[in-house]
Amino acid sequence: QPANDCPADVETLGRSTWTLLHSIAATYPKAPSHTQQSNLKSFMGLFSRLYPCWVCAEDFESYMEKEKIRVGSRDEFGKWLCEAHNAVNTKLGKDTFDCSKWEERWRTGWKDGRCN
């Protein structure tokens, strides 16, 4: 971890950004309106062009071209995002995450109570 007053490196930026994105999924409605779906699509489209790690952004944009974003419900978007994050994990040689557990990690907390 860099000291607080240093610019974020790729790792810190990545961790903070995944926290934001998965938290957006966690609070996204189960039955989003047309406007909410279209807002999320626009946000993710712009995000993939503005993310301030340019190689990351370029790869993420091509991922979004191949794997069309799913915004029809919280679960749909949560799973889509988990798969997108796993694609980055794989590219970086990290373990993949079990996407059936994304809500425990990012919304409800683990069943064993370790977030309480």
Which residues bind to ligand FAD, rule: CB under 6 A? 10-11, 14-15, 17-18, 22, 51, 55-56, 59-60, 82, 85-86, 88-89, 92, 94, 97, 102, 105
Pair 34, 42: CB distance under 8 Å: no
Least distance (Å) between residue 4 CB and ligand FAD: 18
- The residue of the chain with the least Cβ separation from ligand FAD equals 14
Question: Residue 37 or 44: which CB sits closer to ligand FAD?
Answer: 44
Question: Residue 29 or 58: which CB sits closer to ligand FAD?
Answer: 58
CA distance 65 to 68: 6
Question: Residue 74 or 85: which CB sits closer to ligand FAD?
Answer: 85
CA distance 91 to 89: 5
8-state DSSP, 29: -
Nearest to 79 by CA among 91, 88, 70: 70
